[in-house]
Amino acid sequence: MSKRLRDNISSKYLEAANRLHSKTARRRIVAYVESYDDVFFWRTVLSMYEDETRYFEVLLPSTRTLERGKKSAIMRILGDGVGRDMIACVDADYDYLIQGATETSRKVIGNPFVFHTFAYSIENLQCYAPSLHNVCVAVTLNDHQLLDLHEFMRQYSITIFPLFVWSIWHYRRPIYTDFTITDFNRVIDFGGFKIDNPYATITHVRHKVGKYVAMLQRKHPDAKESYLKLKRELTEELGVKPDETYLYIQGHHLFERAVVPMLDKVCSQLIREREAEIRQQAMHQTQMRNELSCYSHSTQDIEQMLKKNTAYIASPVFRRIQQSLEDYLSQ
């Protein structure tokens, strides 16, 4: 097969190729993803649906230009024609929640062969709150729970939810530049996290959110009805739970600006605890040095542990991803 032909494969081409194989051969389904980081996530999802009749091959959108990102992937793939044997798997970003307010959103939610994360991105799912304590244990090998991280993220989510609704409200209209995701991230930023007084962070964010919500209410005095309607739609129809708002905010911001710095403080304290325990229990200096060295080599990197975290498979959001694939495969 020539390189040009290989780079312009369509679903119809793959379907024809599959028909050429024997009836007992497994059907090959190509799944295009946005970037390197997405390969493992979607492999985790799609491998659950491989059997003696089909298998998936996860690919990046272009081998020629190494282009990355949802827009390049979708525009290229839809140009070639996704279908039964060639699908696209992307981060939902805001495209799911704005429900067709933009052309990209319409393609993401309207094409039965484009699958998305429902959550903003895979980074949000990697930060699945019920699993964060286990991530800390994997990093530090210390099971002492300094902070109920699940509860902390629950309260953080409830705190930012009113402003999150305003963010979606703006992005469903041609006035999103008045309140961008960058503006939203600036307001909900932790502004520092102290392990000895973690809930001061929630208080700080709540104060900032309250001020900004009040400002938006003054700026849009006639928006109350549409705001409440959107709030009901998000919670009752689109599956957004106020105490899980963190799943729907910008994933990079959540990962880099909130969860990693928080876990860094928690894990640093847990490591100091374990090292103090080793020093206290060591019989002599040589044993202490050996044990500290062994422990140091056993600890892990926080970001890498989060990226390898697959506990999200127990989340309701992940179940929605599975359901969308099951609906497609049942056709």
Q: Mind listing the pLDDT tens digit for each residue in 98-147? A: 999 998 899 899 999 999 999 999 999 999 999 999 999 999 999 999 99
In the predicted model, what is the mean pLDDT of residues 272-300? 89
Residue 310, CA distances (Å) to 124, 262, 330 in order: 12, 19, 26
**What was the pLDDT predicted at 291?**
86
The span from the CA of 65 to the CA of 85, in Å, is 23
**What was the pLDDT predicted at 325?**
97
Of 152-161, 171-180, 284-293, the least confident: 284-293
For the four alpha carbons of 118, 121, 123 and 129, in that order, the dihedral sign comes to negative
Confidence of residue 62 (pLDDT cuts 50, 70, 90): low
Q: Minimal CA–CA distance to 70: which of 102, 106, 41, 34?
A: 34
CB-based contacts of 254, cutoff 8 Å, min separation 6: 120, 123, 124, 127, 246
Confidence of residue 61 (pLDDT cuts 50, 70, 90): confident
**What was the pLDDT predicted at 95?**
95
Burial class (CB in 10 A: 0-12, 13-18, 19+), 263: buried
**What was the pLDDT predicted at 82?**
74
**What was the pLDDT predicted at 84?**
87
In the predicted model, what is the mean pLDDT of residues 212-239? 98
Q: Say whether pLDDT at 243 is over 50.
A: yes
Name the DSSP class of 26. P
Confidence of residue 22 (pLDDT cuts 50, 70, 90): low
In the predicted model, what is the mean pLDDT of residues 222-233? 98
In the predicted model, what is the mean pLDDT of residues 39-56? 95
Q: pTM (2 decimals)? A: 0.89
Q: Minimal CA–CA distance to 107: which of 84, 76, 85?
A: 76
**What was the pLDDT predicted at 12?**
55
Give the helix ranges, DSSP H, for 56-148. Answer: 70-80, 103-110, 122-126, 132-140
Phi-psi region of 32 (alpha: psi -120 to 50; beta: other; left: phi over 0): beta
Confidence of residue 180 (pLDDT cuts 50, 70, 90): very high
Burial class (CB in 10 A: 0-12, 13-18, 19+), 96: buried
In the predicted model, what is the mean pLDDT of residues 47-74? 78
**What was the pLDDT predicted at 129?**
98
Q: Which two tokens stand for residue 101?
A: 């307010």
Name the DSSP class of 309. -
Q: Say whether pLDDT at 233 is over 60.
A: yes
Q: Say whether pLDDT at 23 is over 80.
A: no
